[in-house]
Amino acid sequence: MLIDLHTHSFVSDGTESPGDLMRSAAKAGLDIVALTDHDQTSGWDEAAQTALETGLGFVPGIEISCRTDNHISVHLLAYLHDPLNEELLAEINRARQDRITRAQRIVDLLSEDFPITWDLVQKHSHPDATIGRPHIADALVTAGVVDNRSEAFERILVPGSKYYVGHYAADPVVAVELVKRANGVPVFAHPLAAARGRVVKDHVFHDMIDAGLAGLEVFHRDNPPQAQRKLLELAQQENLIVTGSSDYHGAGKPNRLGENSTSRDQLERILELGTGSHSVGIN
């Protein structure tokens, strides 16, 4: 049984519609898929509907952008939370709103040197997508400035570049508490992904665990082997759920569906804990 609990559609920075993503997953031989768009749950209905049509199991999820007080980026996956929970929704919407302001500022800075406009960025994003650097990267590709998203990230959109601007993001401990209160299951995404930038110190793990963190995404291409061993040890010590996933973004990233996966017994723990919304087609 192949279970992939971390994927993105074009309602965030993936390149496929939620329905197409589920069809791709069925073709790739997956059995159960979670849709975890950045700061956005508007893809759930279409994904659930397509799961029913294709015989796939579907787990509703989200990936919440967070940042520690010393500015380290943390991504928190949440499964089966109540998407209408007001406190959580307010926090997510604050990040989504600030992402727009921030993207416009990045475009302003870029437009001094490159033929980039806000219009062009909007052409590369779905109307209710969570706007991020990948959409700006796509505009840079269209403008002929770079060949692909990866090159845009490496050369232009990286933190420290004169074009980089950050956005508001919740504290990870607060986000864990909010997900719990929305009856969801919080799982730390790619926790030791050193290539993405600085990673958190041990005490942040423990603060998040004290707040109710339920699991660690251990098997992810951005966690180096040594880091995966450390995460497995921590999961065992703290009785945390262990997940593995692709972090598929369609054509936006090399990650392929099912390249990492979660075991059925670990999924069962998630399904038991998450009561804010419903999975589809899992028996």
Taking CB under 6 A as the criterion, the residue among 18, 43, 60, 132 binding ligand AMP is: 132
Task: State the binding partner of 180 from ligand AMP, Fe ion, Zn ion, none, CB within 5 to 8 A by kind.
Answer: none
| Eight-state DSSP code of residue 253 | S
Q: Does 149 bind ligand AMP (CB under 6 A)?
A: yes
Q: Does 269 bind ligand AMP (CB under 6 A)?
A: no
- Per the CB < 8 A criterion, the answer to whether 190 and 223 are in contact is yes
**Is 270 strand, coil or helix?**
helix
| Dist. CA 22–CA 276, nearest whole Å | 22
Question: Least CB distance from residue 55 to Zn ion, whole Å?
Answer: 25
Counting every residue written for the chain, the total comes to 283
Through-space distance between the first and last CA atoms of the chain, rounded to whole angstroms: 12
Q: Does 134 bind ligand AMP (CB under 6 A)?
A: yes
Residue number with CB closer to ligand AMP (52 or 195): 195
Task: State the binding partner of 57 from Fe ion, Zn ion, ligand AMP, none, CB within 5 to 8 A by kind.
Answer: none
- Per the CB < 8 A criterion, the answer to whether 92 and 63 are in contact is no
Distance, C-alpha 198 to centroid of its chain: 17
Q: Does 10 bind ligand AMP (CB under 6 A)?
A: no
Q: Does 150 bind ligand AMP (CB under 6 A)?
A: yes
| Dist. CA 262–CA 3, nearest whole Å | 5
Question: Least CB distance from residue 136 to ligand AMP, whole Å?
Answer: 8
Q: Please, which of residues 239-268 interact with ligand AMP by CB under 6 A?
A: 249, 252-253
| Dist. CA 225–CA 266, nearest whole Å | 20
Question: Least CB distance from residue 196 to ligand AMP, whole Å?
Answer: 7
Question: Least CB distance from residue 257 to Zn ion, whole Å?
Answer: 13
Region of residue 150 (phi > 0: left; psi between -120 and 50: alpha; otherwise: beta)? alpha
Residue closest to ligand AMP when measured from CB atoms = 132
Residue number with CB closer to Fe ion (220 or 280): 220
Residue number with CB closer to ligand AMP (255 or 266): 255
**Is 172 strand, coil or helix?**
helix
| Interface characters, 151-170, with ligand AMP (x: CB under 6 A) | --x-----------------
Buried b / exposed e along 1-36 (16+ C-beta atoms within 10 A): eebbbbbbbbbbbbbbbbbbbbbbbbebebbbbbbb
Task: State the binding partner of 77 from ligand AMP, Fe ion, Zn ion, none, CB within 5 to 8 A by kind.
Answer: none
Binding residues for ligand AMP, per CB under 6 A? 13, 38, 132-134, 149-150, 153, 249, 252-253
